[in-house]
C-alpha cells in the first residue's frame, strides 16, 4: 500500500501541486495537427481549460479559455488575420496573450495595454501540437526519433480515458500483465467465442529487470525459451519519463503518450511509425483517427490488446486507491516508477531541471531511443499480431501498411 497522502501527491496534476509542478517542466501534446484550424477548439491539460487556435497568418495560439473581459469562453471566438477575437464583445488577443483591440472602449484608451491573457508556448512536431505550461525559460521540445525520422509512414490514434495518467504509466513497468491480461484473459475471451488463443503474448516471463537511465526506465524481459542474448533482454524498451511508452517491433514503433488532462482524465495518444524494407511512397498527410472505447452494449471493448489495457486502467478507478493495494515482488517496476516521480518532484522543488529536460540543441537533433526489433522472439510474428491486436486495427491505412510489409490480413 501507499498512504493516501502519498497517493494524492503522486496523482494530483493541477497548478501548484508537486506533481503538477513537475509535469509543467515538460512539453505535452495538446492536439493533433488536424484539430488546430480557424475554428478555436477547447482543450484541457494539467487541470487547465485552454483554447487552441490558428489565426489567419498561420500562427498557433494557446490561451486560457476564459476571456479576460467578462469571462466568456474564447472557444466562441473568431480567428482574425492576427489573433483570436472574443465572440462576446470583440476583444482581440494575439498568441502571446497581448490584448490588441477593445472595440467598445474609447479610441484614446490605454486600457488594452494593461490586459494580458494567459498564454502558453505551442510548437508543432511530427503531426502533433505540443504545449508548455511551465515556467520560463521553456526547455527545448524533445525531438524524439519517431517524431523526426525521415522515410517512415505514420498514423496517430487517440482517445480520452476516464482515469489518472499514473496508473496508465504503471502498466508500462509491469511486464507480467502481458502474459495474464493479454495472454490468459485475452485467450479466455477467445475461448468463449470459440476462437483460437491469442498468439505471441502467452509466453511466460522467466526474468524481468528495470533500470533507471537517461530517458526514464529501461525494461527488459526473458520469456520462456529465450536467453540473455535475445533482444527482449539485450535491448529492451523504455518508459520515457514522465508520460510515454516506446513499444513495438518488426518495423512498427509506437509512442503511447499519456497526456494528463486533469486528475481523473488522460488523453491517450498512440503515435505509430512504420518502417518498410522496400521503398514506399511518401505520405501526403499523417492520418488521425479515434479509438473506440465501447461496444454496442456500452461495455468496454476488450477483444484486443489495447482494449484490455484500457479496461484494466479505467476499472482501477478514476484515481487508483493505492492505500488499498497489495504489492509483491512482481511490482518492483511500479515501485521504481513511483519513487522516480517522487525524486523528480523534489528536484523541481529545489529549483533544478528534472530528467529528460533538453536545453542543448546539439543533443536534440534526433533523440534515439532503444527498442527491440525482434520483439517476443520474432519480428514478423509480433508485427502480424500487433496489426490485429493493437489500436492499429482502427487505422485508415492498416490495409496499405499490411501491403507494404507484405503481411496477410
Partner 1 sequence: MTHCPGCGARLDAGAAFVQEFWAGDDRRFLCWCSGCGLLCTVVISARLVSHEPEH
Q: For strands 288-290 and 153-161, give the pairing.
A: parallel
Q: Which of 217, 297, 273 is nearest to 401 (CA)?
A: 273
SS3 76: helix
The CB-of-344 to partner 1 minimum distance in angstroms stands at 10
Whether the CB-CB separation of 137 and 108 falls below 8 Å is answered with no
Residues at the contact surface with partner 1, assessed by CB under 8 A: 1-3, 5-6, 9, 18, 326-329, 331-332, 335, 338-339, 342-343, 345-346, 349
The CB-of-200 to partner 1 minimum distance in angstroms stands at 29
User: What is the spatial distance between Cα 73 and Cα 321, in angstroms, rounded to a whole number?
Assistant: 34
User: What is the spatial distance between Cα 145 and Cα 148, in angstroms, rounded to a whole number?
Assistant: 5
Q: Which is nearer to partner 1, 130 or 210 (CB)?
A: 210
The CB-of-343 to partner 1 minimum distance in angstroms stands at 7
Q: Which is nearer to partner 1, 70 or 207 (CB)?
A: 207
Residues 6 or more apart whose Cβ sits within 8 Å of residue 352: none
The CB-of-213 to partner 1 minimum distance in angstroms stands at 17
Q: Which is nearer to partner 1, 3 or 109 (CB)?
A: 3
Q: For the beta carbon of residue 72, count every other beta carbon within 10 angstroms.
A: 16
Query: What spatial distance separates the first Cα and last Cα of the chain, rounded to whole Å?
Result: 44
Q: Which is nearer to partner 1, 32 or 344 (CB)?
A: 344
Tell whether omega for the bond before 137 is within 30 degrees of 0, i.e. cis.
yes
Amino acid at each position: 500500500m501507499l498512504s493516501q497522502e502519498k497517493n494524492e501527491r503522486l496523482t494530483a496534476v493541477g497548478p501548484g501541486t508537486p506533481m503538477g509542478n513537475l509535469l509543467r517542466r515538460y512539453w505535452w501534446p495538446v492536439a493533433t495537427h488536424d484539430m488546430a484550424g480557424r475554428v478555436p477548439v477547447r482543450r484541457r491539460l494539467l487541470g487547465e481549460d485552454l483554447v487552441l487556435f490558428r489565426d489567419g497568418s498561420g500562427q498557433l495560439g494557446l490561451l486560457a479559455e476564459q476571456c479576460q473581459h467578462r469571462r466568456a469562453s474564447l472557444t466562441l471566438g473568431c480567428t482574425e488575420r492576427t489573433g483570436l477575437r472574443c465572440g462576446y464583445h470583440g476583444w482581440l488577443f494575439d498568441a502571446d496573450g497581448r490584448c490588441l483591440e477593445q472595440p467598445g472602449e474609447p479610441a484614446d484608451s490605454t486600457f488594452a495595454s494593461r490586459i494580458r491573457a494567459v498564454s502558453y508556448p505551442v510548437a508543432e512536431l511530427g503531426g502533433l501540437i505540443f504545449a508548455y505550461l511551465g515556467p520560463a525559460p521553456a526547455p527545448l521540445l524533445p525531438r524524439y526519433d519517431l517524431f523526426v525520422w525521415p522515410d517512415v509512414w505514420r498514423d496517430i490514434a487517440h482517445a480520452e480515458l476516464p482515469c489518472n495518467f499514473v496508473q496508465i504509466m504503471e502498466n508500462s513497468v509491469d511486464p507480467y500483465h502481458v502474459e495474464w491480461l493479454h495472454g490468459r484473459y485475452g485467450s479466455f475471451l477467445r475461448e468463449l467465442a470459440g476462437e483460437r488463443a491469442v498468439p505471441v503474448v502467452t509466453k511466460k516471463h522467466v526474468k524481468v529487470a528495470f533500470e533507471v537511465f537517461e530517458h526514464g526506465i529501461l525494461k527488459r524481459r526473458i520469456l520462456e525459451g529465450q536467453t540473455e542474448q535475445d533482444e527482449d533482454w539485450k535491448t529492451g524498451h523504455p518508459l520515457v519519463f514522465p508520460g510515454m511508452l516506446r513499444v513495438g517491433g518488426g518495423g512498427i514503433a509506437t509512442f503511447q503518450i499519456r497526456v494528463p488532462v486533469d486528475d481523473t482524465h488522460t488523453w491517450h495518444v498512440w503515435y505509430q511509425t512504420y518502417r518498410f524494407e522496400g521503398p514506399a511512397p511518401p505520405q501526403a498527410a499523417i492520418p488521425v483517427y479515434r479509438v473506440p472505447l465501447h461496444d454496442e452494449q456500452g461495455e468496454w471493448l476488450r477483444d484486443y490488446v489495447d482494449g484490455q489495457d484500457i479496461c484494466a486502467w479505467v476499472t482501477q478507478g478514476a484515481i487508483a486507491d493505492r492505500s488499498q493495494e497489495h504489492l509483491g515482488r512482481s511490482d518492483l517496476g511500479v515501485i521504481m516508477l513511483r519513487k522516480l516521480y517522487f525524486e523528480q518532484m523534489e528536484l523541481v522543488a529545489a529549483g533544478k531541471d528534472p530528467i529528460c529536460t533538453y536545453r542543448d540543441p546539439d543533443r536534440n537533433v534526433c533523440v534515439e531511443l532503444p527498442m527491440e526489433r525482434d520483439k517476443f522472439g520474432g519480428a514478423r510474428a509480433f508485427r502480424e499480431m500487433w496489426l490485429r491486436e493493437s489500436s492499429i486495427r482502427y487505422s485508415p491505412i492498416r490495409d496499405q501498411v499490411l501491403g507494404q510489409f507484405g503481411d496477410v490480413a
